[in-house]
Amino acid sequence: MRSTADPEVNPMLEGKTVILRALEPADLERVHTWMNDPEVRRYIAMRYPMARVDEQAWLKDRPQNSFAEGVRLAIDTKEGLHIGNLDLRELRPEDRSASLGIVIGEKEYWSNGHGTDALTTLLRFAFYEMNLHRVSLHTFEFNERGQACYRKCGFKEEGRLREHYYAEGRYWDSLVMAVLREEFDALHGLAAEVVGSSA
């Protein structure tokens, strides 16, 4: 399952344990498998089974990554294994804000820091290359693994939307979480980097 990413063609965002790169048609099979895995789908509000052809259309019609159209990237381990995807959407230039989504489809990579590294890498890009001010997300109340990861990346809980989501026979609350650039700076930013390297 080596990815087809070509560093000569595609610039990549480099983290500590992962690389973020553009999605390619060859990613279809993996994404299709993930999107039909009940354990994965449970956390990403994918209610209806998705056909391979739907997935193909999604990959093909995907606009080029940009501020206006948003950013969708594949998460590869440094060994070149494609383990998930993440994206920035609903980018608003005046407010300099975006919302974020992530899926780690390869379940052996859950809870071992790859998600945190991928998010931190994307946030670094969002704040220091795209000049965003705020990145937010919604997460289901039962996604505690996700919430722990978001907190590590600097996200703070801003509130709880009551009964915002229905699944598995009942309503669930959604948590609103967000990180501001100044908070990310303090935690992971250029300043923190300098402090870290001198330690």
Partner 1 sequence: MLEGQLVRLRAIEPGDLEREYVWINDLEVTRYLTARYPMSRADEERWIQSASPNSFAQGVRLAIETKEGEHIGNIDLHRMHSEDRKAGLGVMIGNKEYWGNGYGTDAITTLLRFAFYEQNLNRVWLTVFDDNDRAMACYRKCGFVEEARQRQDVYMEGRYRDVLFMGVLRRDFDALHGGPGGEPDA
Q: How far apart are CA 5 and CA 23, in angstroms?
A: 8
- Return the bridge partners of 156, or none: 178
> Site size for partner 1, by CB under 8 A?
22
Q: How far is the CB of 42 from partner 1 (least distance, A)?
A: 14
List, in order, residues 6 or more apart from 189 with CB less than 8 Å away. 127, 128
Residue (107 or 160) nearer to partner 1, CB: 160
- Residue 65 makes CB contacts below 8 A (sequence gap 6+) with 22, 71, 72, 73
Contact between 46 and partner 1 by CB under 8 A: the answer reads no
In degrees, rounded to 5, the angle at the alpha carbon of residue 60 between the alpha carbons of residues 93 and 140 is: 60
Does position 131 interact with partner 1 (CB under 8 A)? The reply is no
Interface residue with partner 1 among 3, 22, 180, 184 (CB under 8 A) is 180
| Options 26-34, 65-73, 105-113, 156-164: segment touching partner 1 (CB under 8 A) | 156-164
The reply on whether position 166 binds partner 1 by CB under 8 A is yes
Nearest CB to partner 1, comparing residues 171 and 191: 171
Q: Per CB under 8 A, which region of 1-9, 15-23, 70-78, 158-166 contacts partner 1?
A: 158-166
Structure tokens at 140: 């289901």
